Structure 1
Amino acid sequence: MMHADLIDQEDLLGQLKALGFQVPSGATAEQACECAVRGLDDVRAFELRKMVKDMYTSGASIQPVVRQAIDKQLLPALTEYQQKS
């Protein structure tokens, strides 16, 4: 999990599922992020922001495909949601 030196797709899926997001097993990082940003509300946006911050500040390496999915899916969706709120 996230305590390891590498955060991979399985870690991302596990974190999202632990937060209550409906993510299909075997989803790619990009698919998982797409699922997570559907129907954002204040609580979901807060949890996603916290998860991303924790991942980026944990000192662990983030697998490039995971970082790319976060940068292309989660962060823009969170920014857009925050601007609309």
Structure 2
Amino acid sequence: MMYADLIDQEDLLGQLKALGFEVPYGSTAEQACEYAVRGLDDVRANDLRRMVKDMYTSSATILPAVREAFDKQLLPALAQYQQSRSA
């Protein structure tokens, strides 16, 4: 039997909590990303970028709910933050 490494919403919540983000228990991936991008500062933005990069470059498969949360919430917020810092 083959087992694949998967990144699901529980993994995402665990990663965010390990980085010190307050994410309520039972949050969806999208809700977790919403909480993570509130009050972004340079340190939080860098931590989130590193987390996303690590997830995308790992051999694990990112499940669709997590990928969608990144696409809808996390990545746009990080891009907007970066743009506001460059202005």
Across the aligned residues of Structure 1 and Structure 2, the Cα RMSD in angstroms comes to: 0.8
Alignment partner, residue 9 of structure 2: 9
Aligned mates of 2:9, 2:20 — CA distance in 1: 17
Q: Give the alignment of 1:1-85 within 5 angstroms.
A: 5-85=5-85
Find the structure with the greater CA-based Rg: 2
Aligned length: 82
Task: List structure 1 runs of 4+ shifted beyond 2 angstroms.
Answer: none
TM-score by length of 1: 0.94
Structure 1: give runs of 5+ residues left out of the alignment: none
Alignment partner of 1:24: what SS?
coil
Aligned-residue identity in percent: 79
Structure 2: give runs of 5+ residues left out of the alignment: none
Q: CA deviation at 1:59?
A: 1.3
